[in-house]
Structure 1
């Protein structure tokens, strides 16, 4: 894979004990040192105007001034420093790069993966939250739509937390399909099955809230039987993956049971889905707070695109997941 990376993302200082810290990127880079075919690209940061295309103008000015004045606690979980705004622009620019490269035809070993921080999928139009300041994947999607490079964009979010910000920004839009598989009841408490969009966006939001302890078989069942057919019917030009690795069975802040190989299997499913839709495919880093599991997750996705076939899982979905899938298929008329 080709990885977008910008050193400015290390300058977002959250303090010694915060789970979202610069060591996340350092661990990923260290893990990738041992892998074949890794290439890094340092694209330009996003502009304030690109950020303001999905965020409120007053919020953009306020959060920029907050960071440039030294930062602090925006809320109890979301911490900024004087380097945060530049890091946020760099992270959003990396997501833009991934979207542009995917639409330009990058695939296989050149599939783009944006390694930015702070993450973005919790940032709503007018507020920062959940470690996120700028909604990176939303900036990327909006940029390619505004530039006329795509007419329809799909976002699949496999982070363990629901991407409330991405959902909210596009909830009443018909040109962006947002699908999320996440742990039910976990922060921020959104992402119920009946949240399906409104107005022109009705039917373009798909949420699969899984019970705690869900593993590879549960995630794959949701992808195979609900997410993939719904996205394929939407027929996007671009598929972006909000790739958090905090559903890993050894991540310190979730209760899910996805294995490292499970991420390879999900990445393979996304590659197949993009091919079936004749869509570009790009990955954008979100969460993942165990340094070893985060590094392993990104590495296994890279290996999947470097020619290593994912190993099929014997893990089966449970009855609760099958019921959820049936409900999703009924709600989106996939039968």
Structure 2
């Protein structure tokens, strides 16, 4: 894979006790040293106008001024330093780079994966929260839609971070040109992402939330991909598929109770690759969360291996019943005719 990366993203340092630390990127880079075919590409920082296509301009100016004044605690979870504004601009720029590369034909071993930070999917139109200042994947989606050369009419975003991507949902909730899917742990921060939240106005039906019960495992996540997600995105037929790739649903991540294995990330990557192929969509990944350094690094490396030719290993057991009613309710909310016994 091509990995979008900038040393500048290490300068955003919210403190040694903060889970969203520069060591996340260092761990990924160290793990990828052992892998064949890894390429790193830097990108230009995102322009204010590009970010302002999804964020309130006054909010962005306030973040810039906050950082210029030395930063501090924006809220109890979200901390900035002087360098955070430049890191956030670069992180958004890397996400745009990933979308651009995908739309320009990068696929297979060249599939782009932006590993910028700070992450983005909790940042709403006019506020930072949940470690996030600029919604990187939303900026990238809007950039693709706004760039005439790419001829993009529809973008799909699949967010498999363990936390609901409330910011991405908020930005596109009443839009019909972006389909947003979030798989997340039910009841976990920020407490949003119920099945009934399916969009509004022109966006009615273009938000899909799959709030998984604590304890959900690989097979149940795969059933979500093979059932409601595949059906909905096939109908939507996106030109670009962006993955908000958080790795904190891993069973060894310190801040969640979902029970995914490392192999699950290879399997989900294979599923979204097949979805992109079936819909003739460009495909790119954008890093979100993941706070156990070893499992984060191992999981990103396995995504890379999947695109480098490794065949993912399907689990032997059948899907459990932990999330069965959740998936049935998702199908009903979106009026999808899928028999879960067949997936």
**2: CA distance, partners of 1:21 / 1:289:** 9
**1: CA distance, partners of 2:248 / 2:332:** 29
**CA RMSD after TM alignment:** 0.7
Kindly tell me: are residues 7 and 198 of structure 1, through their superposed partners in 2, closer, same or farther at Cα, counting changes over 3 Å? same
1:122-271 to 2 correspondences below 5 Å: 122-148=122-148, 149=150, 150-271=152-273
**2: CA distance, partners of 1:126 / 1:290:** 30
What secondary structure, in the 3-state scheme, does the structure 2 residue paired with 1:281 have? strand
What secondary structure, in the 3-state scheme, does the structure 2 residue paired with 1:40 have? strand
Please name the residue that 1:322 is paired with. 324
Asked if 2 retains the 8 angstrom alpha-carbon contact of 1:216 and 1:315, the reply is: no
**2: CA distance, partners of 1:101 / 1:141:** 13
What secondary structure, in the 3-state scheme, does the structure 2 residue paired with 1:319 have? coil
What secondary structure, in the 3-state scheme, does the structure 2 residue paired with 1:226 have? helix
**1: CA distance, partners of 2:127 / 2:114:** 23
What secondary structure, in the 3-state scheme, does the structure 2 residue paired with 1:59 have? helix
For structure 1, the residue ranges without an aligned partner over 5 or more in a row are none
**1:220-273 CA deviation, whole Å, 9 max, x = no partner?**
011110111101100000000000000000001111110000000000000000
**1: CA distance, partners of 2:318 / 2:158:** 22
Matched, 1:48 2:52: no
Asked if 2 retains the 8 angstrom alpha-carbon contact of 1:174 and 1:202, the reply is: yes
Report the TM-score, using the length of structure 2 for normalisation: 0.97
Q: CA deviation at 1:315?
A: 4.1
Q: CA deviation at 1:320?
A: 3.8
What secondary structure, in the 3-state scheme, does the structure 1 residue paired with 2:323 have? helix
Kindly tell me: are residues 246 and 315 of structure 1, through their superposed partners in 2, closer, same or farther at Cα, counting changes over 3 Å? farther
Report the TM-score, using the length of structure 1 for normalisation: 0.99
Asked if 2 retains the 8 angstrom alpha-carbon contact of 1:241 and 1:283, the reply is: yes
Asked if 2 retains the 8 angstrom alpha-carbon contact of 1:88 and 1:117, the reply is: yes
Asked if 1 retains the 8 angstrom alpha-carbon contact of 2:74 and 2:80, the reply is: yes
Q: CA deviation at 1:314?
A: 2.2
**1: CA distance, partners of 2:289 / 2:230:** 23
